[in-house]
Amino acid sequence: MDRVRALPSWATGLFGVAVVIALWWLLAVTVFAGVGPANVSAIPTPWAVLQQLGEDGATYYFRHIQVTVTEAGLGFLWGNGLALALAAFVLVFPRIEKVALQIAVITYCLPIVAIGPIARLLIGNPDSGEPAGTAVFLAALAVFFTTVVGSLLGLKAADRASLDLVSVYGGGKLMQLRKVRIIAAIPAVLTALKIAAPAALLGAIIAEYLGGVERGLGIAMLTAGSSAQVERVWGLAIVAGVIAGLGYALFGLISRLVTPWSSGRNS
């Protein structure tokens, strides 16, 4: 008997999405039907959300997406840039590793909701329609720990024989970093960046929930929720989820192209 050919990853993903939508629809019209304040269903059907997306139009979503993605992108660059620099610094000066990890853990343990108001007081409010510095800061904070740890693990996973070879030819720690460690760390760094992409978006949205901005997915969800526009809230949440998924998929694709050996693919 011929072996049954496994479904490709994209087909498996589409099947999973279809199952989730079917379960969502079933629960919305049965278990959660009419569950919500003022007889407003807290879980609308997928069709109701789709209709709301069409009524709002692309312009409504784009003006909010533009601000939030800019905030998340700037935070992503700042947070990951500082994390990569710190990881490289630790490799050159190993004695500061414990201090660096403590700093990373502290940033991870800080509750974003609690630190957000303090950051807003220090940074201030943006100009009308401009990205918020608080959102950029919280987006950077959301990605820092993951990238520091992932980068350190990757940089320390370098082949010992290759490091010794560089030493034999007179190379120091900087030469080892440039010639061996960075190449060995690429898969782990890209994996960390893949996780950091949706984390940065989440950090920016949470910052917008704290107020002080006029546009953005977070403030749009807050406004729609306070007006009991449930379908719009779900539509905004889905749009945010799609953007986060695209960021994750982008770095997954880059990882497959740049480091095919890490996923078992031949170049």
Q: Can you give the pLDDT at residue 15? A: 80
Angstrom CA distances, 224 to 61, 145, 204, stand at 13, 32, 18
Query: 77 in a domain, yes or no?
Result: yes
Q: Tokens representing 264?
A: 């078992």
Please, what's the largest Cα pairwise distance for the chain? 76
CA atoms in the 13 A half-sphere facing the CB of 32: 14
Closest CA to 244 of 205, 209, 204, 199: 199
**What is the CATH number for 175?**
1.10.3720.10
Query: 5 in a domain, yes or no?
Result: no
Amino acid identity of residue 157, one-letter, is: A
Angstrom CA distances, 147 to 1, 78, 108, 111, 127, stand at 47, 12, 11, 18, 31
Q: Can you give the pLDDT at residue 201? A: 94
What number of residues does the chain have? Answer: 267
Q: Can you give the pLDDT at residue 124? A: 67
Query: 76 in a domain, yes or no?
Result: yes
Q: Can you give the pLDDT at residue 139? A: 92
Domain count, the chain: 1
Query: 95 in a domain, yes or no?
Result: yes
Q: Can you give the pLDDT at residue 2? A: 44
Query: 265 in a domain, yes or no?
Result: no
pLDDT, tens only, 52-108: 888 888 889 998 999 899 999 999 999 999 999 998 888 778 888 888 888 888 888
In 93-157, which residue ranges form alpha helices assigned H by DSSP? 97-109, 112-123, 133-155
Domain that holds residue 159: 45-259
Query: 3 in a domain, yes or no?
Result: no
- The pLDDT profile of the chain, 267 residues, written as one tens digit per residue, is 444 456 676 677 788 888 888 888 888 787 767 665 555 567 888 888 899 888 888 889 998 999 899 999 999 999 999 999 998 888 778 888 888 888 888 888 888 777 877 777 777 666 555 567 888 899 999 999 999 988 888 877 777 777 777 777 777 777 777 677 777 778 888 999 999 999 999 999 988 887 667 788 888 888 888 887 888 999 999 999 999 999 999 998 888 888 776 655 544
Query: 31 in a domain, yes or no?
Result: no
Closest CA to 258 of 185, 176, 206, 159: 185
Angstrom CA distances, 181 to 5, 23, 69, 129, 178, stand at 39, 46, 32, 43, 7
Q: Can you give the pLDDT at residue 266? A: 47
Query: 132 in a domain, yes or no?
Result: yes
Q: Round to whole Å and give the CA distance between 106 and 46.
A: 40
Closest CA to 61 of 226, 229, 245, 235: 235
Closest CA to 190 of 260, 258, 255, 139: 255
